[in-house]
Amino acid sequence: MMLRYTVVRGGLGLLAVRRACLSPRFSHSAPQSEYRPIKKVMVANRGEIAIRVFRACTELGIRTVAVYSEQDTGQMHRQKADEAYLIGKGLAPVAAYLDIPNIIQVAKDNNVDAIHPGYGFLSERSDFAQACQDAGVRFIGPSPETVRKMGDKVEARSLAISAGVPVVPGTDGPISCLQDAQVFAETYGFPVIFKAAYGGGGRGMRVVREYEELEENYQRAYSEALSAFGNGALFVEKFIEKPRHIEVQILGDKYGNVVHLYERDCSIQRRHQKVVEIAPAFQLDPHLRNRLHADAVNLAKKVGYENAGTVEFLVDRNNKHFFIEVNSRLQVEHTVTEEITDVDLVHAQLHVCEGRSLPELGIKQDKIRVNGCAIQCRVTTEDPSRGFQPDTGRIEVGLILKGLEGRDHVWTAETLLLLTCRLQSPEKVCRLR
């Protein structure tokens, strides 16, 4: 569950995302032969992201299709779509949403023009993007080849180097054995970090601070990566102590145009999972901000990036930045970027997939401005008695923060960020307003 807050003109309040209006007289016309309107979209996902995409489609007059597992028959995303179809009969919920042949067949049987993968599940699977393409169904995202390149952290790192983007010192490719990790650690010193070569989200990731811990953490990282991604390949990097984690939102079209929509600070994390997102990043050196934006755009142009994506960086204590990865999809946190730029990213995704250019959509770099700031807080439910494992349950306790005499207080972004950190507790749920 994500809570979003926006500070505008010194006040704090929930704002709806203002939609960018399209003029009938475009400043730039994409080749007409490339433009193919989308009439029906399937979302190969469930929950909040499916509903978010359905809303955008409805606003654009596009018919919507939901898919659902047997266990999700009563879920809201099924009710919000114009059509809904069962997938993965007899399978567990997650397996159902990973059943590529079934999803593709449902799309073909029901004249679906395009599939939006949402986030999670199949969103960064190049084989799914390729299956869509092979079936004549458009994939609302980058090309299969781009998804493959960005999903392979080793190749993405190599591409970043060739684009002149700084990277954290690390192995050029997946290591083949523990001895490779030992040589790297002896060369660069501790701490080092193991990372899964073919996945993210904190799985297959282990920090090692001394030689005695190397073998155990290598085995654990390998096992986690193999279990989560079907491939235990690892690479090793020098571990950056207490960095800031800054990510840049990018958007590209089919004609080589790429823009950035500024950045988000997601430094506050727990178990490598983001807890707080703030846009734009606060107290970021202006020159560093410009370098981050430029490097993100240059890398995207290097790979011919199309549609929405995020380029992620670490910033050390000396304000040096290092590329870490590209998320070739829409992220959970995209809404804070929408709040500050007034650009509807899902609308843009759909239009780019149709073949429209960014200039045609009125999305030009010199026209994108930051308006206020926005914060998104992730509230998770966990069970302290089971080592804080993820849990479900009813929210029964809430905390509303009010100003003096019952009036809402004007909280600054920095104050909210610090307050949110202090309120993090698996036994309390807070609501800021």
| Consecutive H or E run containing 41 | strand 40-43
For residues 305 and 149, the answer to whether their CB atoms sit within 8 Å is: no
DSSP assignment of 367-378, as one string? G----SEEEEEE
Tokens of 217: 């953490």
How many Å apart are CA 115 and CA 120, to the nearest integer?
14
- Rounded Cα gap, residues 327 and 334, in angstroms: 12
Is 329 assigned a catalytic role? yes
Say if residue 25 is exposed, middle or buried (CB neighbours under 10 Å; 0-12, 13-18, 19+): exposed
Gap between the Cα atoms of 285 and 351, Å rounded:
34
The CA distances from residue 239 to 169, 185, 190, 233, 393, in Å, are: 9, 11, 8, 18, 36
DSSP string, 283-303: T--HHHHHHHHHHHHHHHHHT
Alpha carbon 360 to its chain's center: 25
Other C-beta atoms closer than 10 Å to the C-beta of 36 total: 12
Alpha-carbon span 310 to 332, nearest angstrom:
11
Contacts for 212 with CB less than 8 Å, ≥ 6 apart: none
CA separation for the pair 305, 307 (Å, rounded): 7
**Which amino acid is residue 60, in one-letter code?**
L
- Both tokens assigned to 367: 């026209």
Contact partners, residue 276, CB within 8 Å, separation at least 6: 266, 268, 375, 376, 377, 378, 417, 420, 421
Q: Of 138, 244, 329, 378, which is the active-site residue?
A: 329
CA distance 406 to 394: 27
Q: Rounded to an integer, what distance in angstroms lies between the CA atom of residue 131 and that of residue 117?
A: 12
Q: Are 68 and 86 in contact (CB under 8 A)?
A: yes
Question: Residues 308, 249: contact at Cβ < 8 Å?
Answer: yes
Known catalytic residues are: 329
